[in-house]
Chain A
């Protein structure tokens, strides 16, 4: 299925990260995507005034794996060790709607044709929602890069945007070079290393404590928010069944009840649409917000990890220097090595501080925007419900 996502929808969706894609020198978006079985093909569209690019306006097809390649190369790049690398977009996951579609197929015999059609519609909407979400999250990733002063200039980023051939070959080479080295590291080692080091800088001490704790809390909140959303979806599904059965009852009825049942069936059909929107809005504004920042915090933690490693390296280089001095051997190398480590560490600390500060600002702004929007949408939907319900009540009382 191809989906062209119109501008208004995109505005609504582009919510987890604000202040992106405003710099006219480099504008990136994903205007459409194609879904073939499991594979999603994104059309990455770039508009630029920068001379470093060959053309001012161009598009390329990209797969999810290409995004991962780009992310990993950035992570592996030494120069960016002091930056928060925007989290890689998660793999498109159609498992949930697919499983539900399967279950629906199995239960088809137990429902009326109308019911089945409506359930199917709901599921197709869910497919579409997953699809839109994955497009959004891939788009935001690129826009985070384009709005970053350093990362936007990255050579590989440019290749990603411009290279009109298949990136598969490059991806393979990269894999051979790095062998997914960083990823294979045991993540738990991060925590130990980060929390283990003796921190002299108050700022980083605070950040460390904060990020470690916040990460586990936000991870939990994400999971709980997801469960809430699922319950709303279940209720919307129940409304479908109720509406369908009321309709059947109405068809069979010849008493004064007939009209009541008709109106009621109608009402529940409308209510379920609202409930569905409550679910999807909550998901977008709350669950997705939490999920995104959970990943972002992981990226921030990764930064802390790299800095911690640099500190360890520096400390080790100190020890090596002392040893060298003791032995009166290879002192200049040791001195140089120590200097390099110190420089690296200082650089990481300086850039890290900047990154973490702006990260906090970004986070606060995004939370504010999304919480406001969520509250406004909840109010809107509740008001809508009241109107629908009151309308039906008045109708029933008058019959």
Chain B
């Protein structure tokens, strides 16, 4: 139905059946459309990260064995951690009637489709819900990666500029960087699993926003068996949030009149999110370092285990030889333990932080949109003022034709000024609500995930106790 659009057109509203809030025509006049080239990625790089990661030899930690732990029940610990924990329920806004419905989305069964250059990964997206918006209670569709990006792009273009914190979806650039930096194989189990998990979290976060849950694009994405192919990847990477923020920041700098921040709340919140951004990035970098070191520990433990086994074989004292072999066995089990823990470190804590770093960039973007909206309103007001002055001059010089035209223009501008003010008020109101929702969500999210993460640590330690307890009599048996 929707024609394929070339990448250069604004990726605002490709879908013809969208009935989301239309963008103001004033926006169209903006030559610097922020969504024109949505190629930029939110960068998770920060100086701190480089310092931490460049310390010591950089290990090429490619998973030596396919991380079956990721796909087996053992990592059911992460399998149901995210989707079944803080995402247990999604409550539709109170103003909608007060009933609480639930929805649960899972992304599964990654499957390679096609061959060679045109091959892609298809995922099964299953929705289980009792919300009446949907045609049935349980249904599945097949989606590919670009479909997710396409969905995000549409939602971002419809809702970001009016103040909704649209959850970002890590785009192609993010995954490419992962491949380069982590020296990961794109088709490796671990890579596929990371992406699957990220896409799942993306969808769950998206439907948690009541306004997005009702959006026809979202409904279509979840329900439709056929989805029109999203356009070229360039235009579809995560709506160029960074670029958008940068451009908005430029616009702010160009403001001749500084925004009169009568609302201290916004200033305070903006500062808060700035700080949060810095700290979360730092924490994320530390966690990534931890994951790396834990993987290293696993590898080193495995190597030691092999070495101890050889030593045990070489040992000519029978009892000691046996004990050394047992030690080797224990260490081998422990290396698997560390590997599993590294996965928990990553999927529970590290990815949570990564998600929130991206989310906060969206939050910052929304604040910047508010400033832009204010600027537009002010500009219109200034224009009105100029027109009024011009009108007064015309009246003085008695030019009736031009006077009428001037009066018409003024009337139009007055309307636009009113609209500008309304839009500013609306976006401010939406942001207040959104920030409140976001913060509540953040607190709940963190608490739930952290507890799950700590429980994973407990599990590891308890397992360690078991292994060493079993080894102790072997060591004592040496005579």
Contact = CB atoms under 8 A, between A and B. Distances in A.
Given A367-B478, A378-B468, A242 B283 contact: yes
Interface stretch (B76-84, B157-165, B186-194, B469-477): B469-477
Contacts of B287: 242
A38 interface: no
A235 B297 contact: yes
B311 interface: yes
A231 B296 contact: yes
Contact of B478 (A246, A257, A371): A371
Interface in B452-476: 454-455, 457-458, 461-462, 464-465, 468-469, 471-472, 475-476
A371 B297 contact: no
Interface string B36-57: 0000000000011001100110
A389 interface: yes
B323 A371 contact: yes
Contacts of B180: none
Q: How large is the interface on A (under 10, 10 to 19, 20 to 34, 35 or more residues)?
A: 35 or more
A110 interface: yes
Nearest to A232: B297
Interface string A136-160: 0000000000000000000000000
Contacts of A363: 317, 320
Contact of B465 (A241, A264, A383, A390): A383
A98 to B, nearest CB: 15
Given A210-B314, A368-B475, A249 B283 contact: yes
A248 B479 CA distance: 54
Contacts of B475: 368, 371-372, 375
Interface stretch (A18-26, A68-76, A219-227, A333-341): A219-227
A228 B301 contact: yes
Nearest to B448: A396
Nearest to A209: B316
A214 B315 contact: yes
B297 A238 contact: no
B125 interface: no
Contacts of B472: 372, 375-376, 379
Nearest to B304: A224
Contacts of A378: 464, 468
Interface string A355-383: 00000100110011001100110110011
Given A260-B447, A364-B320, A385-B461, A110 B455 contact: no
Interface in B299-315: 300-301, 303-304, 307-308, 310-311, 314-315
Contacts of A385: 457-458, 461
Given A210-B316, A235-B297, A393-B455, A248 B279 contact: yes
Nearest to B303: A224
A218 interface: yes
Contacts of A125: none
A176 interface: no
A214 B314 contact: yes
B465 A382 contact: yes
A227 B462 contact: no
A245 B293 contact: no
Interface string B268-304: 0000100110011011001101100110110011011
A221 B307 contact: yes
Nearest to B317: A364
B71 interface: no
A103 interface: yes
A164 B56 CA distance: 45
B442 A397 contact: no
Contacts of A196: none
Given A231-B300, A386-B465, A393 B451 contact: yes
A264 B450 CA distance: 9
A8 interface: no
Given A255-B443, A379-B469, A242 B310 contact: no
B240 to A, nearest CB: 28
Contacts of A242: 283, 286-287, 290
A325 to B, nearest CB: 43
A255 B442 CA distance: 10
B446 interface: yes
The winner among B55, B439, B468, B479 for most chain A CB atoms within 10 A is: B468
Contact of B327 (A371, A386, A389): A371
A397 B48 CA distance: 32
A360 B317 contact: yes
B294 A235 contact: yes
Nearest to B439: A255
Contact of A252 (B276, B297, B323, B447): B276
Given A214-B314, A372-B475, A238 B293 contact: yes
B307 A224 contact: yes
A306 to B, nearest CB: 22
B461 A382 contact: yes
Contact of B286 (A241, A389, A392, A396): A241
Contacts of A107: 51
A97 to B, nearest CB: 14
B47 A110 contact: yes
A373 to B, nearest CB: 9
B433 to A, nearest CB: 16
Given A227-B303, A255-B439, A372 B455 contact: no
Contacts of A6: none
A78 interface: no
11 contacts: A224-B303, A228-B301, A231-B294, A231-B297, A242-B283, A245-B283, A364-B317, A367-B323, A372-B476, A376-B472, A389-B457
Given A235-B290, A241-B52, 15 more contacts: A221-B310, A227-B304, A231-B294, A234-B293, A238-B293, A256-B443, A257-B446, A257-B447, A368-B476, A375-B472, A375-B475, A383-B465, A393-B454, A396-B447, A396-B454
Interface of B: 47-48, 51-52, 55-56, 272, 275-276, 279-280, 282-283, 286-287, 289-290, 293-294, 296-297, 300-301, 303-304, 307-308, 310-311, 314-317, 319-320, 323-324, 327, 439, 442-443, 446-447, 450-451, 454-455, 457-458, 461-462, 464-465, 468-469, 471-472, 475-476, 478-479
What 7 A-B pairs have minimum CB-CB distances, sorted nearest first?
A231-B297, A224-B304, A368-B478, A371-B475, A238-B290, A234-B293, A241-B286
